[in-house]
Chain A
Amino acid sequence: MNKYLLKINNLSIDFGGIRALNRLSFDIRQAEIAALIGPNGAGKTTLFNCLTGIYAFSEGDILLFPPESEKGISLKGMKPNQITEKGLARTFQNIRLFSRMTVLENVMIGRHCRTRAYILGALFRNAATRKEERETVDKSYALLEKMGLAEYVNEPAGNLPYGAQRRLEIARALATDPFLLLLDEPAAGMNPQETSDIIDLIREIASDGLSILLIEHDMKLVMSLSDRIFVIDYGRKIAEGDPAEIRSNPAVIKAYLGA
């Protein structure tokens, strides 16, 4: 078995009496693509928001295992930017790009937590700052090329076609140098051709050794990509296993078909 990257233990979160996540436990291992599925309102995005520090969870714990450390780091009380710095990046279900910045700048923002220049660096543009800035631009551009977005470099992000915006979100998340990438419905609103493109893209990203946890409703994508699938409903995990197991799991069929 591969090394743990993320361990979720009995995670619960309440929103004024509504228990959105209920004693949820699972783990992600190195070099795997895991999928999180479940009916609408099951708590998938809530879980992502807990993982990235947007929501503070009420009970349980989340442990993150960055490559350099053997012992896990608890994400309890950590701010979103600190978590990103540790190597966990995400995209959003409803695209949240910086729409009036250029495509390149959007990716450059992702490099923010890996660079240091501040006021003085900006004013004097000393050798170190110039070098850092050059690296930022080069790495960002390389990512855009990889994602097939090079033609849009100086275009405002908001002007991009929908599919390109989705890819830009992934590029921006990758720019933070994550070891675990969370994708929130990467194929939402895409046609079958675009979906199969995004499947190839995700596979290519994963082939670089990056682990991925994704939320998705498109079963073709989920079944063809994932090594393991977690199914949640009403904030509870109802099933876990590889695609074949999930497909034949009675609890999953019940949750999805309401039978």
Chain B
Amino acid sequence: MTISSVFREIIRSSLISLWFVFLTFPLMVIKVNPIERVVHWRWGNMLYVAVTSFVLSLFFREVVRRRKLRETRPEEENRAGIALSIRRIFDEPGKRNMLTGIVFCFSLVFPFVFSSYQTTIMTTALMYVVLGLGLNIVVGMAGLLDLGYVAFYAVGAYTYALLNHHFHLGFWTVLPIGGLVAALFGFLLGFPVLRLRGDYLAIVTLGFGEIIRLILENWGKFSQGPSGIANISRPGFFGIHLSLDSAIVYMYYLMIVFVLATIFIVSRLQNSRLGRAWIALREDETACQVMGIDKRKTKLTAFALGAFWAGIIGVVFASKTTFINPASFTFLESAIILSIVVLGGMGSIIGVIMGAFILILMPEYLRPLSQYRMFAFGLILVLMMVFRPQGLIANVRSAYHFEKTKRTFHA
């Protein structure tokens, strides 16, 4: 770097720091004491803001500059970094199997090693893994930006809560019903938005999510309004009554099974005729139609299948917490699930699993810093979009291997 470019960087960062000082001035510097009717000018704070933003900006710009340099270099030298080494582990079957084995064994003994508090947190994380994988079908594969995903989650939860409350139906009976009712709602939402894409679709789905929540909040006779529904039964275990602790462990293993089933199904879908059609729809809608894919059918299937998973996890959620009210199904919930998909890597199964663990477990283990949760959340997303827009682990399409004369393929 030449002297002049260093100088330019310093000027840029000074301007940025000045702008931050201006923005934070009312919050950080002025403090009004209404009782004594005096204004405290906290100039020290202003200095902190100025210095911090100056240093951060210098650092940030330097990182971006190095990154650009690296991008201009040829591909081979580029193969560094944590994400790529993770990628490489998954590419080698031996290492992959070993890693899968370790993770699997760890997840099996988890409830016996750790406290029931830890187990509950882990169960929640696993629920978000399934939600993330479900939304991954809609957003990651089919490319339909759905901001109202939580609505289907709510539909599943309320289906179980209401059927349990009024008709005393059990968890296992309602599980498929909840999924199917949610899928029906997904189908219904799919119809009006068939023609929409991108931002327009995002706004309609956002509205849909709010409609469901507002109905649940205000239609008291149907859903008991904001006070919610309590005393929902936990999942049955062959008619045996479980203590609270063993119910938590049971719930945990149930979620492990759900996660495994979802991974299996989603990975099979991804490499099927239908999965390819979804990805083609994401890449180019017109070309996709002209190549003979029924846009309507493919889109509706994506919506319905994505919603099905949300419905299933809704039922699990209601039975896990035994109490639900509309406050559990706010837009923030949709945003978190969407962040899991984006952070993890659109369309990538391993990425979504990692995304869910990071975004759900981090806030739990960093309780003391809970004030800064949303700040950290936003920061992570911004940094991700700048440095790794493809997500932690980018989706790589499966390769087929051919020999010149005899053709075989391994999916």
Contact = CB atoms under 8 A, between A and B. Distances in A.
B399 A97 contact: no
Q: Determine the main DSSP class of B at the interface with A.
A: helix
Contact of A109 (B265, B280, B301, B411): B280
B286 A54 contact: yes
B295 interface: yes
Given A98-B288, A102-B400, A112-B293, 19 more contacts: A53-B289, A81-B289, A81-B290, A81-B294, A84-B292, A96-B286, A97-B283, A97-B284, A98-B279, A105-B279, A109-B291, A113-B291, A113-B293, A121-B273, A132-B273, A133-B273, A133-B411, A137-B407, A141-B400
8 contacts: A81-B291, A84-B292, A97-B287, A98-B279, A98-B288, A102-B397, A119-B269, A153-B400
Contacts of A112: 273, 276-277, 280, 291-293
B167 interface: no
A98 B272 CA distance: 16
Interface in B244-294: 265, 268-269, 272-277, 279-280, 283-284, 286-294
Contacts of A90: 290
Interface string B379-411: 000000000000000000101101000010101
Interface in B14-69: none
B284 A81 contact: no
B107 to A, nearest CB: 24
B154 interface: no
A101 interface: yes
Given A81-B295, A96-B284, A138-B407, A117 B289 contact: no
Contacts of A3: none
Contacts of B283: 97-101
Contacts, number: 124
Nearest to B281: A98
Given A96-B284, A112-B293, A134 B277 contact: no
Contacts of B313: none
A153 B290 CA distance: 22
Given A119-B301, A121-B273, A123-B269, A101 B280 contact: yes
Q: Determine the main DSSP class of A at the interface with B.
A: helix
Interface in B303-331: 305
Contacts of A119: 269, 274, 301, 305
Contacts of B402: 141, 150, 153
B397 A85 contact: no
Nearest to A136: B273
Nearest to B273: A117
Nearest to A117: B273
B273 A122 contact: yes
Nearest to B274: A122
A134 B293 contact: no
A171 to B, nearest CB: 12
A119 B137 CA distance: 13
Interface of A: 52-54, 79-81, 84-85, 89-90, 92, 96-102, 104-105, 108-110, 112-115, 117-119, 121-123, 125, 129, 132-134, 136-138, 141, 150, 153-154, 156, 172-173, 176
A105 B290 CA distance: 16
Given A101-B283, A154-B400, A176 B274 contact: no
B184 to A, nearest CB: 15
Given A98-B283, A109-B280, A115-B273, A156 B290 contact: no
A209 B399 CA distance: 33
Contact of B272 (A89, A117, A153, A172): A117
Interface residues of B, number: 32
B265 A123 contact: yes
Contact of A54 (B277, B290, B293, B397): B290
Residue picked from A96, A102, A150, A172, most chain B C-beta under 10 Å: A96
B273 A118 contact: yes
Nearest to B296: A79
B190 to A, nearest CB: 15
A110 B290 CA distance: 9
Nearest to A173: B291
Nearest to A130: B411
Given A101-B279, A122-B268, A122-B274, A176 B286 contact: no
The 8 closest A-B pairs by CB, nearest first: A113-B292, A122-B272, A84-B292, A98-B283, A96-B287, A154-B399, A80-B289, A109-B280
B400 A122 contact: no
Contacts of A123: 265, 268-269
A103 B268 CA distance: 20
Contacts of A97: 283-284, 287
B409 A134 contact: yes
Contacts of B274: 117-119, 122
A179 B279 CA distance: 27
Contacts of B272: 117, 121-122, 129, 133
Contacts of A98: 279-280, 283-284, 287-288
Given A101-B283, A118-B274, A172 B399 contact: no
